[in-house]
Structure 1
Amino acid sequence: MKLLVPIDGSRASMNALKKAMEIARKYDFAMKLVTVVEENHVTSYGRNQNFWHQVDGSIISAGGVEMEIMSQLEERAAEMLDTIVAEFDFSGIDLEKLVVTGEPSIEILEIAREEAFDLIVMGNRGMSKIKRFFTGSVTQRVISEAPCPVLSIHEDLK
């Protein structure tokens, strides 16, 4: 049995991780932690870089800067997963870590489908209905399109 746990560093995702660890130990699940680096953050930086190029005449190419930023973000995401693994006791749990780049809900769903996960345990930040309407929710999309059950853990879980 396989358990997918998306991690973004939020309190909700840490609560989801704790619950996932309980489930993994009790039912002998293997666990994969995944962090998604969002590309849209880097592209917006690139647009700003192009603007500054027009202002100061710098010769820095936005494409090269974007690649460097993406590399740094992926490195930080991997470091975050390493820190989490060091801080929690994963003894007795078959554990994998993965950092991917893209849109979080799409990447999580793709991994769940391709690797035939049995359960996804993820945090839910508890956005208001209005904010969720305008921005969407990664958790909502995963719940509605996942090929397996999804356990959504709220950030205020005690």
Structure 2
Amino acid sequence: MLNERKNWNPRLPEFLIEAETLLAKSEECLAHLQLIKNDPDAIHCLLGTLLTLANRAGVLALGDICTFARSLHAVLSQVQGHVNLHDQALDALKECLTLIAWQLELVDLYTGDLRLDSTEQASLLEAFIAQIDGVPCTLGGPTSGLAYATMATRRA
């Protein structure tokens, strides 16, 4: 495990630059969706950037960021084409992306640790889900644990 951290650490600055680029692209997709509601190309772009961000964070063992990005991806992919992504839903999604950007700034450059609990992630994800509630979502597997837990809590 210690060797993994030594090998991992030099890749963090490169990841942070890539993550910033991916988040900027996500913001562009979101802005596009605010202009052209439910545009399939913008949704596809957003899904792609979230998945890439999650995968890259996963490779570097940035678990909280990976899980949150995968959860957003899982929710968005389940409702794609089945729900109107209205302004309130897009605002909630924007808050989720803002949190990811903020969390990336808080990653310890020497250890890769992000010493936060996932309460705010769960809260923002729940707010996003609340805006798209009424659409049946079947989330499962390791990529959507946070989303699944949040949706299960809402439906209970």
- TM-score for both structures, normalised by structure 1: 0.26
- TM-score for both structures, normalised by structure 2: 0.27
**Hey, which of these two has a bigger chunk of helix by percent?**
2
Larger Rg: 1
**Hey, which of these two has a bigger chunk of strand by percent?**
1
